[in-house]
Structure 1
Amino acid sequence: MTIIVDTSAILALFDEAYAEHRQLAQIIAKADERLVVSPMVVAEADYMLYTRLGSRAAHDFASDVAGGAYDLAAWTSNHHAAALTILDRYSQDYVGITDASNVVIADRERTDRIMTLDQRHFRTLRPLWGFDSFVLLPYDS
């Protein structure tokens, strides 16, 4: 099974002050899930970890990605164009390119599972194929 991991989940995994930290850590610890991150999420998480928790947290996340804890999704101009289509479709909700990239990658991975704390956007966004809505972890687990 594949889970797309959003920036907010990464922040919560690194910061024990988040109420969802323990639930997310338990999902990760199960180790039977393939965790996929968008390059957009990697960049956004790097910045947010650095500014909120410091350089050590940002470096540790980069090491996790480099070490294979997360599969780094390929991203091409065609994927970016698909994400822009999602931005246009949900323009009234202002969905950013990072969230749209997660929808595109979920489509490519044929999964409806997204690890995120961003219920506002991901309860609105719809999968591009086969599912009526996303399963948001940890909330829907």
Structure 2
Amino acid sequence: MHTRFLSLAVSLLVAGFSVQAADKAQHLAIVVNKNSSLSDITSAELAKFFKAEKSKAPDGTKLVLVMQEAGRPEREAALQHVFKMSDGEFNKYFLQATFTGAVASAPRALANGRAVLRFVSESPGALGYVKGDEADDSVKVLKIDGKVPGDAGYALSCK
């Protein structure tokens, strides 16, 4: 009886971790350098940072924005949920903003989540995104509206 209970408890624990990992994989994690003063921001602030409407963290650190290359599902999710634009609209937005001097340049495009993690971990002020289950301890995962990937109601879905 005790063995059956212990087996059931372990199975439920493993299932819980599997569901949480699956939930994280379904979301974008917004990541910053571990030393960043950013920790919990609103969806509106996130959009301003990524659109380069706000270029500094509260401590004055200049933000360096990185995205994943066109065609990556993570980029499509970021464009949909953060920018609320298509890839074409995004390119037009930054071309116009660069031409008018509103921004110095468009966010840098990197090949994949590993490249984003490497860049963000090595660059003070870096801000990017990866799938929730790709985020590791080399970076800090921001809370968006008080939630992290895997939390109920987290707004940045990769679906």
TM class, shorter-chain normalised?
0.3 to 0.5
Give the TM-score, by structure 2 length: 0.37
Give the greater-gyration-radius structure (CA): 2
Larger helix proportion, structure 1 or 2?
1
RCO comparison, higher one (Cα < 8 Å, 6+): 2
Give the TM-score, by structure 1 length: 0.40
